[in-house]
Amino acid sequence: MDKLHKALDFCIRHQTILGYSIVSLLTAASEHIFSSVVFKCPCNSKNMLYGSVFLIVPAFILFLLGYMVNARTWRLLTGSCPPEKRCSCSPWGVCTRYCLILVPVTAKASVAPLTWIAVALLRASFYECAASGSSLIKNLVCKDKGQECHKLMVKLPCDEKLSEKISSEFLALQAQSQLIGWFLIASIMTVALISTCISRCCSPVSYLQLRFWKIYLKKEQELFEIKAKEHATKLAEINMNCFFEATDPAPFQTPSNEDWRKVS
Amino acid sequence: MDKLHKALDFCIRHQTILGYSIVSLLTAASEHIFSSVVFKCPCNSKNMLYGSVFLIVPAFILFLLGYMVNARTWRLLTGSCPPEKRCSCSPWGVCTRYCLILVPVTAKASVAPLTWIAVALLRASFYECAASGSSLIKNLVCKDKGQECHKLMVKLPCDEKLSEKISSEFLALQAQSQLIGWFLIASIMTVALISTCISRCCSPVSYLQLRFWKIYLKKEQELFEIKAKEHATKLAEINMNCFFEATDPAPFQTPSNEDWRKVS
Amino acid sequence: MDKLHKALDFCIRHQTILGYSIVSLLTAASEHIFSSVVFKCPCNSKNMLYGSVFLIVPAFILFLLGYMVNARTWRLLTGSCPPEKRCSCSPWGVCTRYCLILVPVTAKASVAPLTWIAVALLRASFYECAASGSSLIKNLVCKDKGQECHKLMVKLPCDEKLSEKISSEFLALQAQSQLIGWFLIASIMTVALISTCISRCCSPVSYLQLRFWKIYLKKEQELFEIKAKEHATKLAEINMNCFFEATDPAPFQTPSNEDWRKVS
């Protein structure tokens, strides 16, 4: 049992990485399902629209979902614009505080959409469909081949043999898509590593202190949950007794609204 | 066991998201069953009616179901129109109060029907059948192709080869349906995120206080259940004793109807 | 149960080697998936680019990932450039200390990318594609065979029969790739062995003392975790009580920022 505990401890300690891995795997799996079951390139002048929608809109939806399930977004926003009290502190300070919280939240929310785009580019079917309808790509490929080439171009994703006919010199659309995908992943990783490095470098506290604060925050949250439950039970019991026995409610010590605001 | 508890705690804490996910998955699964087993496009002039019914009526049923299973609807409605007492408070205040409760209930009840419509649009079979019978789409596709095209149009969902014959330039009906589906999902998510943001922003209490109130409400409900059982047992026992021993009922403290109304 | 414990003990004692083996196996498996599912050599003048990207970019991504998941990188960087205190000790000493930590971290981060490159070379498909487009290789193979050979060369990865036509004397590209792969693995292993030997040779402490230090460091970390949890629990409890009972917080002994820095 002791060893099992250690394994679970390992999971909990690395839960951020494990969580991201699971989210990425789920995204990749759903991308696989969509591109093989639902996606059918129309192979006419609407290729560009159809392909782009499958590439971008699901990523956008995943991005919004990422914001929604993040508790810190709500902790920041809840009660931040109360109708009675507005702009008591300087707007500049508020703006800075928002940015400091929104940047990591945005970074976390971007994991799933970027995975979607990267996997979709590596699988190449969405990009192939979109690019075959794009006038920029068409002009590049059919530079001096006449109008016939333009018409064949949009049929490309539906007919594998056409690819060889049109252009043996130009890089195939699927290969383009995969190259873009790889470079996208590489640049995202680089940016992520560098930005984490910088943010860590400039932090005023050392590694172990940061560790301690993380542990403290977790403990505090757990204790808050327990204390709040106790407090709520007491309050509810008193109110219930008042109701059924029709006595006046006894005065009960409860934190004021002002206190709550400071704690959050 | 301790870790198992944590896992369960995690489930309970995220129960709203998990609940919505389960509802959405069930809806998507049932949509899959319906569109592959039950749905058969008639391929005649009744296409429009048949397709729309499969697209909209199940969504409407799910919407009503969503209202039915929500306890807050019943808490709000029960006893709100007592026959003897009507319009004691101003109708405007009542209306505002109703709206404030009905909006979140409606939002919750809309999850399942919107999932149904979105999944149905992405699978495209219902929309294809409905659109092939719609006169608007028919006129767009068969602009200068004569009456023959109109007749072929309604046969479209039953014959895959026809699609190429009729129109290679016009966006295929299935592709249209999927695009509409994606945009529908994206716009729902955007509206949901923005409206939650605004409602949270303008709330007079902070995040932790909101947390506390949720815990309190839950505890109160549990305690009410327990107290009500005790109270009811006592009252029933007294009444039974009175009946069998034919004595006068002892006076027993019970909350009045007026008290009950205030608490609800 | 006793045997199971021994097996688990064995796993934990050799966890470094086991960890590397798992990482290597995962990398090899993903390489297999990529080269068989996603990779399709375009067989035109872009061969060189396409093949190199598949060979190098994933290795680069794995290298960055290796840095990211290594806790020692963050322990070194966190708070190393605090805004208020800069360059208190000599820059030379800092640089040496950085190098001493970065070298083993880099070595650990290189396991996965080197595995990727080695496996890819042994499977030969990426290298074959890249080499068939490289002008250096083309000139070597087609030394006195005219322009036709150059054109056939780029088609090589897509057509197995061509290989025999072009050159039976020259070593096939696949064989080249595998030889390079073997030599790469051999040289990495040699370098790793020699460098570990040297670092161990020049260490001021003996083998058993090193063992002891490793055990000590691990124990210290475990104890830190436990103590930090206790401390955090106490601090959180005191703060919670203050909040709910509206009393003044009692003074609580906490290490200062300066102490934290020294410990890290």
Per-residue pLDDT tens for B178-232?
889 999 999 998 998 888 888 777 766 666 667 777 777 777 778 778 888 888 8
Same domain, B219 and B198: no
User: Which pLDDT score, from 0 to 100, does residue C86 have?
Assistant: 47
Residue that terminates a domain, selected from B151, B184, B202: B202
User: Which pLDDT score, from 0 to 100, does residue A86 have?
Assistant: 47
Q: Tell me the chain C residues in contact with residue A122 when contact means C-beta distances shorter than 8 Å.
A: 38
Same domain, C54 and C123: yes
Percentage of chain B with pLDDT > 70? 72
Same domain, A180 and A239: no
Closest Cα in chain B, distance from residue A144 (Å): 24
C29 falls within a domain:
yes
Contact assignment for B206 to A40 by CB distance below 8 Å: no
Q: What is the mean pLDDT of residues B121-142?
A: 82
Same domain, B111 and B166: yes
pLDDT at B23 > cutoff 80: yes
A222 falls within a domain:
yes
Q: In this structure, are residues A168 and A53 in contact, taking their beta carbons and an 8 Å threshold?
A: no
Among A193, A210, A224, select the one facing C78 at the smallest CB separation.
A210
What is d(CA B27, CA A79) in angstroms, rounded to the nearest whole number? Answer: 35
Q: What is the mean pLDDT of residues C155-168?
A: 68
Same domain, A218 and A119: no
Q: In this structure, are residues A50 and A42 in contact, taking their beta carbons and an 8 Å threshold?
A: yes
pLDDT at B130 > cutoff 90: no
Same domain, A226 and A193: no
Same domain, C69 and C114: yes
Contact assignment for C74 to A204 by CB distance below 8 Å: no
pLDDT at C183 > cutoff 90: yes
* Predicted confidence (pLDDT) per residue in C109-133, tens digit: 888 889 889 988 888 888 888 888 8
B214 falls within a domain:
yes
What is d(CA A5, CA C185) in angstroms, rounded to the nearest whole number? Answer: 37
A84 falls within a domain:
no
Q: What is the mean pLDDT of residues C59-79?
A: 78
Contact assignment for C45 to A17 by CB distance below 8 Å: no
User: Which pLDDT score, from 0 to 100, does residue C85 have?
Assistant: 47
Q: In this structure, are residues C55 and C130 in contact, taking their beta carbons and an 8 Å threshold?
A: yes
Q: What is the mean pLDDT of residues B103-110?
A: 84
Q: In this structure, are residues C162 and C173 in contact, taking their beta carbons and an 8 Å threshold?
A: no
> Nearest chain B Cα to A45, which residue?
B169
Same domain, A178 and A217: no
Closest Cα in chain A, distance from residue B164 (Å): 10
* Predicted confidence (pLDDT) per residue in A43-100, tens digit: 777 888 888 988 899 999 999 888 887 776 676 666 665 555 444 456 677 777 777 7
Q: What is the mean pLDDT of residues B57-78?
A: 81
Out of A92-96, A220-224, C135-139, C187-191, give the one with best mean pLDDT. Answer: C187-191
Q: Predicted ipTM? A: 0.72
User: Which pLDDT score, from 0 to 100, does residue C129 have?
Assistant: 85
Q: Tell me the chain B residues in contact with residue A86 when contact means C-beta distances shorter than 8 Å.
A: none
Chains in contact with chain B (at least 3 beta-carbon pairs closer than 8 A):
A
A82 falls within a domain:
no
User: Which pLDDT score, from 0 to 100, does residue A85 have?
Assistant: 47
User: Which pLDDT score, from 0 to 100, does residue A87 have?
Assistant: 47
Q: Tell me the chain C residues in contact with residue A227 when contact means C-beta distances shorter than 8 Å.
A: 240, 244
Residue that terminates a domain, selected from B160, B182, B202: B202
C82 falls within a domain:
no
Same domain, B198 and B211: no
User: Which pLDDT score, from 0 to 100, does residue B132 have?
Assistant: 81
B83 falls within a domain:
no
Identify the H or E element spanning A49.
helix A47-68
Residue that terminates a domain, selected from A177, A202, A227: A202
User: Rg of the Cα trace of chain A?
Assistant: 28
> Nearest chain A Cα to C40, which residue?
A175
Same domain, A167 and A56: yes
Band of residue B28 on the pLDDT scale cut at 50, 70, 90: confident
User: Which pLDDT score, from 0 to 100, does residue C184 have?
Assistant: 92
Band of residue C190 on the pLDDT scale cut at 50, 70, 90: very high
Same domain, B173 and B67: yes
> Nearest chain A Cα to C255, which residue?
A209
Q: Which two tokens stand for residue A64?
A: 């919004």
Contact assignment for A189 to C57 by CB distance below 8 Å: no
B85 falls within a domain:
no
User: Which pLDDT score, from 0 to 100, does residue B2 have?
Assistant: 61
> Nearest chain C Cα to A172, which residue?
C42
Q: Side chain identity at A28, as an amino acid letter?
A: A
User: Which pLDDT score, from 0 to 100, does residue A142 have?
Assistant: 74
Q: Tell me the chain A residues in contact with residue C76 when contact means C-beta distances shorter than 8 Å.
A: 207
Q: Tell me the chain C residues in contact with residue A115 when contact means C-beta distances shorter than 8 Å.
A: none
Contact assignment for A231 to C244 by CB distance below 8 Å: yes
The residue that leads in pLDDT, B261 or B114, is B114
Query: Which is nearest to B262 in space by CA: A199, A243, C82, C192?
Result: A243
pLDDT at C231 > cutoff 90: no
Q: What is the mean pLDDT of residues B151-180?
A: 72
pLDDT at C182 > cutoff 50: yes
Q: In this structure, are residues C252 and C238 in contact, taking their beta carbons and an 8 Å threshold?
A: yes
Range of the domain at C256: 207-264
- Average pLDDT of chain C? 77
Q: In this structure, are residues C77 and A200 in contact, taking their beta carbons and an 8 Å threshold?
A: yes
- Average pLDDT of chain B? 76
Count of domains for chain A: 2
> Nearest chain A Cα to B231, which residue?
A244
Q: Which two tokens stand for residue B138?
A: 């028919």
Percentage of chain C with pLDDT > 90? 6
Closest Cα in chain C, distance from residue A105 (Å): 19
pLDDT at C33 > cutoff 80: yes
Among A207, A215, A227, select the one facing C229 at the smallest CB separation.
A215
User: Which pLDDT score, from 0 to 100, does residue B163 have?
Assistant: 63
Q: Measure Cα distances from B244 to A29, B232, B247, B262 in Å.
A: 70, 18, 8, 35
Q: Measure Cα distances from B42 to A63, B126, B159, B175, B232 in Å.
A: 40, 11, 12, 21, 59
Contact assignment for C50 to A220 by CB distance below 8 Å: no
User: Which pLDDT score, from 0 to 100, does residue C191 have?
Assistant: 92
Same domain, C211 and C99: no
Residues of chain A with pLDDT under 50: 85-88, 249
Closest Cα in chain A, distance from residue B147 (Å): 24
